[in-house]
A and B are shown apart, each in its own frame.
Chain A
């Protein structure tokens, strides 16, 4: 291709420059959007986190005061604890159950369509309706959940009344909406070449070993993707819980159900403390960054990559 070192050098650098031009052209929608719609508000919120700002009046600079208060406010710590508790239960459970359901679907043959739709149904139900619905389903005395448990001889807990069971109740509700993940896993499983499993069978692997040593590595990239995205979403859970416990009458259990974003929302829009809310947001931002970084780092041990991922 090249005829001489010199021309090669020149043409490569010219090629690089045109490539860069094209790259920027392709990235231009995002760059423009980032500059116009994302960067400004992000920086604005960072700036506001150093101010006292009620939105109704101009912000006044308060330095690090909001950040100092983050560590003093017991509700911040508690809501963060609630959120971690939820995420720690929700993420692994939803991944595990979704994987189980996807494996079932994979063996369902032609009827998978119908079951797939069933599993997906909750994800398309409006969040507002989900919150209302589950508050009634989880009712300790007349709710369907405990009535179901009663049928198999279990005395159901106070999902919506016992402080110790509020969050598990919310996790239960959240698991109802894992249809998205099921569909993604199902698709990933379909992509695992049959030949690999056949080869494993020839080598004498039982079905658990097949699953563990063939299937899991093959879909580890998908598992990783849902882990990252699922964790971010879990740490920002808001709508369903807000509808369940914070709209209308005092529910009597607000402490346990007060998740981080709910408290942030209250600070910003009920207590008119947008400055403090911004500081809360940036604290969460940093936390999510760290968690994601750790997840990426750990992923190198268990995620199997096939090609370049950049």
Chain B
């Protein structure tokens, strides 16, 4: 294990320093405690405020009374806290929340394993037709989903899985083009010697993948998991097409249902729509805040180049 860690560090050091022939040493860890320049701080705060305002507006609108939702007041007056309790009461929000967590976890878990497997296949092995196959992987991202939606639905229907949550995540068992691309790039930065050494020690390719490639790419895998969890968390189309029972709904579909009932074509209770939006955003926010350390380190070592 220790050897592997070293290997990873070395690979980063080497990869990063190649550009400047002069440096052969590893980059020093960034621990410098240079005080942030006031200009940078001011710019950051300024931009942050710009980014925050729309969300704060959403938050404020969710706490206003119906007749004030789109009013010019910045601070709700009075605070209509019961918008939240009302959403809670009229919609099975908790149920939708758990459905979203379950589907998101399954989607993220399955896509990590499968994409990593496929990515390793593309990164490590050399065989004829590899370039063409990889081109095919990328091409699948380029056709608008609207026209493959019904044929895909027919396949799931044929398998008897419509009206269940399976179609929301099970396609991830087969890898995803985007993450396969991303992880392949990462595996390419791991020195081949490490794999060869393990081979000499008698490991088969699966073991090489599982015991060497995977642990070394843990941060990248966390990135993939988080990205996919987020994608699943905000996906509306699949739940809309495949689910019909309210008890199976995920948060975005529930939110759309609320929008229909209370928003544009409904009784125009926008404050409830806003409250529901906030409710569906907060968990993801917390998750991001907690996981961002891994998230950022992960991307920085994937070496998407």
Residues of A within 8 A of B (CB): 16, 19-20, 22-27, 29-30, 32-34, 36-38, 40-42, 44-45, 48, 55, 101, 104-105, 107-109, 111, 113, 115-129, 132-134, 136-137, 142, 144, 176, 183-184, 186-188, 190-196, 199, 214, 217-218, 220-222, 224-225, 229, 232, 236, 239, 247-249, 261, 264-265, 268-269, 274, 277-278, 281-282, 284-285, 288-289, 292, 303-310
Q: Which residues of A contact B270 (CB under 8 A)?
A: 132
Q: Is the CB of A284 within 8 A of B277?
A: no
Report Cα–Cα, A269/B180, bound state, in Å. Answer: 32
Residue of B whose beta carbon sits closest to that of A189 = B300
Q: Can you spell out 20 A-B residue pairs with CB atoms less than 8 angstroms apart?
A: A23-B127, A34-B140, A34-B174, A45-B148, A117-B292, A120-B292, A126-B251, A127-B236, A129-B255, A176-B54, A183-B295, A183-B296, A193-B17, A194-B27, A199-B22, A218-B19, A265-B146, A284-B142, A304-B19, A306-B18
Q: Which residues of A contact B285 (CB under 8 A)?
A: 117, 121, 124
Q: A-side binding surface: helix, strand, loop or mixed?
A: helix
Closest-CB distance, B67 to chain A (whole angstroms): 15
Q: Is the CB of A126 within 8 A of B277?
A: yes
- Which segment of B2-10, B77-85, B86-94, B128-136 sits at the interface? B128-136
- A29-B117, A309-B305 are contacts. A125–B174 as well, Cβ < 8 Å? no
Does B197 sit within 8 A of A, measured CB to CB? no
Known: A26-B120, A132-B273, A310-B188. 4 other contacts (CB 8 A): A36-B174, A44-B151, A104-B44, A121-B52
Report Cα–Cα, A75/B285, bound state, in Å. Answer: 40
- A133-B57, A292-B138, A307-B188 are contacts. A19–B150 as well, Cβ < 8 Å? no
Does B114 sit within 8 A of A, measured CB to CB? yes
Chain B, interface residues (CB within 8 Å), range:
35 or more
Report Cα–Cα, A26/B30, bound state, in Å. Answer: 37
- Mark interface residues in B1-41 (1 if CB within 8 Å of A CB, else 0): 00000000000110111111011010110100111110011
Q: Is the CB of B44 within 8 A of A108?
A: yes
Q: Which residues of A contact B134 (CB under 8 A)?
A: 310
Closest-CB distance, A42 to chain B (whole angstroms): 6
Q: Is the CB of A199 within 8 A of B23?
A: yes
Report Cα–Cα, A241/B147, bound state, in Å. Answer: 19
- A116-B292, A176-B51, A281-B144 are contacts. A26–B305 as well, Cβ < 8 Å? no
Does B304 sit within 8 A of A, measured CB to CB? yes
Q: Which residues of A contact B136 (CB under 8 A)?
A: 34
Q: Is the CB of A104 within 8 A of B40?
A: yes
**The 6 residue pairs across chains A and B that have the minimum distance between CB atoms:** A33-B174, A221-B305, A26-B121, A187-B299, A41-B151, A23-B125
Q: Which residues of A contact B124 (CB under 8 A)?
A: 23, 26
- Contact partner of A306 (CB less than 8 A), chosen from B15, B138, B301, is B15
Q: Which residues of B contact A30 (CB under 8 A)?
A: 114, 118, 121, 137, 174-175, 180
- Contact partner of A20 (CB less than 8 A), chosen from B16, B127, B251, is B127
- A29-B173, A45-B151, A119-B48 are contacts. A229–B122 as well, Cβ < 8 Å? no
Does B267 sit within 8 A of A, measured CB to CB? no
Q: Is the CB of B155 within 8 A of A37?
A: yes
Q: Is the CB of A44 within 8 A of B148?
A: yes
Q: Is the CB of B118 within 8 A of A29?
A: yes
Residue of B whose beta carbon sits closest to that of A282 = B143
Does B209 sit within 8 A of A, measured CB to CB? yes
Q: Is the CB of B174 within 8 A of A277?
A: no
Does B264 sit within 8 A of A, measured CB to CB? yes
Q: Is the CB of B292 within 8 A of A190?
A: no
Report Cα–Cα, A152/B202, bound state, in Å. Answer: 70
Q: Is the CB of B143 within 8 A of A285?
A: yes
- A289-B139, A292-B142 are contacts. A137–B127 as well, Cβ < 8 Å? no
Closest-CB distance, A184 to chain B (whole angstroms): 6
Does B281 sit within 8 A of A, measured CB to CB? yes
Closest-CB distance, A69 to chain B (whole angstroms): 16
Residue of B whose beta carbon sits closest to that of A53 = B150
Residue of B whose beta carbon sits closest to that of A217 = B19
Q: Which residues of A contact B133 (CB under 8 A)?
A: 27
Report Cα–Cα, A120/B133, bound state, in Å. Answer: 34
Report Cα–Cα, A33/B148, bound state, in Å. Answer: 14
Q: Which residues of A contact B147 (CB under 8 A)?
A: 45, 48, 264, 268, 274, 277-278, 281
Q: Is the CB of B121 within 8 A of A27?
A: yes
